[in-house]
Amino acid sequence: MNLLTKLRRRFLPVLDPRYVDQMRSRFDIGGGYEDYHAFCQSQLACEIPATLPPLLQQGYEALSVMDAKAATELKCYVEKNVDCAVSRRKSQHLREYAIDDDDEFRHTLLDRIISTEFNDLALRFFESEYFVHELSVTCATPSKKPCFNSFRWHCDRGPRMHLKLIVYLSDYSEHEGNTEFLDLESTRAIATTGYVYAPVRTRLADLSELAKQAKTRYAPWSTELRAGEGIAFQPNRVLHRGLLPRRGSRYVVTACLQPSPIPWREALKRFIPPPAGNDVRWHEHAQELKSALAVDPGSGTR
């Protein structure tokens, strides 16, 4: 082992391989999300596409969502009509638009990004209907400062069965920002080191040493997306990280989906209580979703 390798390993974070089991225990088992997903699957009334898309084989897939003109129109509307603020205290380079204040625009936005192709892909992934758990529009700008959180390698915490779609409203050529992914196989191998779901402070910008330790390849994948194109990916199962723009501003729409017993348009009409307690993203138990989205509201069954 050469000196450089020794130094690199010295600065690797101390990790616990039990993080993966702890995450599954908290959400899928203890939080009832696995049972909730099975319930949603039992309510599916339409046919599931029989294809095996890259999303299921690799964990991510690029796709065309809308034409460039529609993407530009959405970006211009957001810039002119929607308030924005810094998304996180440590991420001054990332601003988020307050689209929750405009229900009509949210519906328009969802109609644009949930294309027929993506709808089929989501049905194939969940093998059930789905609903929009979160929806945001953000603008990232260049920064020379070290980046944290989403700009270092990570898997999103939460239930295993959730899906994300990132749609670019501006061309790669305008900003040169991106998102990188490691495939399902590499992520599973690196998970044995304890890195996956590790505390935010342990996140790294380079996983090459951990990949060697896990005896897997380190081959980050990305693609240069045009306005209107997007990436669907399994955020809980594939390691990924954002890359800040090198110049200009990168506008993206991000939608997070979860299983549902009813189609997403019907789900928009239901009131889903926001998560309570310390976790602002996920409900403590999936029964709250089942009660809100069951076909017979409040009963949990048809």
**The architecture CATH gives domain 3-293:** Sandwich (2.60)
Residue 151: name the closest of 211, 62, 87, 98 by CA.
87
Tell whether the model's pLDDT for residue 280 goes beyond 90: no
pLDDT band at residue 301 using 50, 70 and 90 as cut-offs: very low
pLDDT digits (tens, 9 = 90+) for 9-59: 455 667 888 888 888 899 999 999 999 999 999 999 988 888 899 999 999
pLDDT the model gives residue 224:
94
Mean of the pLDDT values across residues 251-273? 96
Reply yes or no on whether the pLDDT at 80 is more than 60.
Answer: yes
Residue 7 has pLDDT above 50, yes or no: no
- Adjacent-strand bridge partners of 131: 258
Domain ranges for the chain, please list them.
3-293
Q: Does residue 202 carry a pLDDT above 90? A: no
Please report the DSSP string for 181-233 in residue order.
E--HHHHHHHHTTT-TT--GGG--S--HHHHHHTT-----B---PPTTEEEEE
DSSP string, 30-97: TT-HHHHHHHHHHT--SPPP----HHHHTSEEEEE-S-HHHHHHHHHHHHHH--EEEEETTEEEEEEE
- Per residue in 92-104, pLDDT (tens digit) is 678 888 887 778 8
| For residue 88, pLDDT beyond 60 | no
pLDDT digits (tens, 9 = 90+) for 232-245: 999 999 999 998 89
User: Which of 34-38, 137-141, 193-197, 199-203 shows the lowest mean pLDDT across its residues?
Assistant: 199-203
User: Does residue 302 carry a pLDDT above 50?
Assistant: no
115-131: average pLDDT: 96
- Look up tokens 């625009």; give the residue: 105
Tell me the percentage of the chain whose pLDDT exceeds 70: 89
Tell me what pLDDT residue 299 has.
Answer: 47
Query: Over the stretch 150-191, which tens digit does the pLDDT of each residue have?
Result: 788 999 999 999 999 999 999 999 998 899 999 999 999 999
**How far, in Å, CA of 88 to CA of 96, rounded?**
9
Sheet holding 60-64, edge to edge: 60-64, 229-233, 163-168, 250-260, 129-140, 91-97, 84-88
Here the tokens at position 186 are 């590499």
